[in-house]
Copies of this chain bind each other. A is one copy, B any other.
């Protein structure tokens, strides 16, 4: 496969994230830290930080919040020219960051946003895909509304027709999918047209109807999904162990149908920001596929290392640079030194 065209297109919602500083509860908060992010936007920004040309496609209202959301993505080097204007509000979520035995908690306030009310025909996909080589979407968008799911299908079908690689992060969110259709009635068709799929055991079971045997563990997920969707070229799972709200470990597993590749396990005892860890993983996979040819072992190593570093960075977006991630996944033995 030749992968040297220029652009990666990511499609999804950009949300305002409001979080109390430090470990304050929402009930205590007198100030909120504002970040903008969203699963697919995080992937776009992470890819831009890795040196790729990435473009984010979405729908935002024309008010100052929408403008601020675009500004942040643009600051990280993402092309925002194809974010269309529309809708009444920017989807918002409140994040209370837990630690130790107290879990983080999220209050979603994203109903009626620009993306939830997007409709087929609003976006000119052929124009967007003209000089592109990769299209990334996620199950979150399909879970927003019936029309948003239709736009996903519209985009994926156009991409396939134009010969563009398609990736999907399943990203099951139980608080979405409130519009009368189950994920299992929507996602399988969309996923079957994708080339690279990222998802865990629960995503596969609930969204794709994949069945697991009694002895299957999390690391068997890619193989089971691949069996179910033979046209999908690569399937990956990020393996997160959650010892507490501040202490996780992360690793990755990738199947190309022939073989299963596993990364090392990174222990993360004092995480700074857990949100976006999966998106950093996804961006690492896409970068890997575009860069390291068919070196699948290195690709899954890179994705896991990218995700690991994200957990040290505040905000949704993995700002770690290429060199930093490569040093980590190559295991350079200068852990914790100050470069001076």
Contacts and interface: CB of A to CB of B under 8 A. Distances in A.
Contacts of A122: none
A162 interface: no
A30 B33 contact: yes
A267 to B, nearest CB: 8
A32 B35 CA distance: 11
A103 interface: yes
A244 interface: yes
Interface string A61-83: 00111011001101111000000
A313 B270 contact: no
Interface stretch (A182-190, A208-216, A220-228, A329-337): A329-337
A275 interface: yes
A27 B74 CA distance: 13
A127 B187 CA distance: 47
Given A26-B68, A30-B33, A32-B18, A102 B340 contact: no
Interface residues of A, number: 83
Nearest to A313: B25
A245 interface: yes
A279 interface: no
Given A65-B107, A101-B328, A175-B340, 16 more contacts: A23-B314, A26-B65, A26-B68, A27-B67, A31-B32, A32-B32, A89-B111, A100-B270, A101-B266, A101-B335, A103-B335, A103-B339, A106-B339, A108-B340, A245-B336, A246-B336
21 contacts: A18-B18, A23-B272, A24-B314, A26-B68, A29-B68, A63-B107, A65-B94, A99-B270, A100-B308, A100-B311, A101-B308, A101-B312, A102-B320, A104-B336, A104-B339, A106-B339, A111-B112, A112-B112, A245-B336, A246-B270, A247-B336
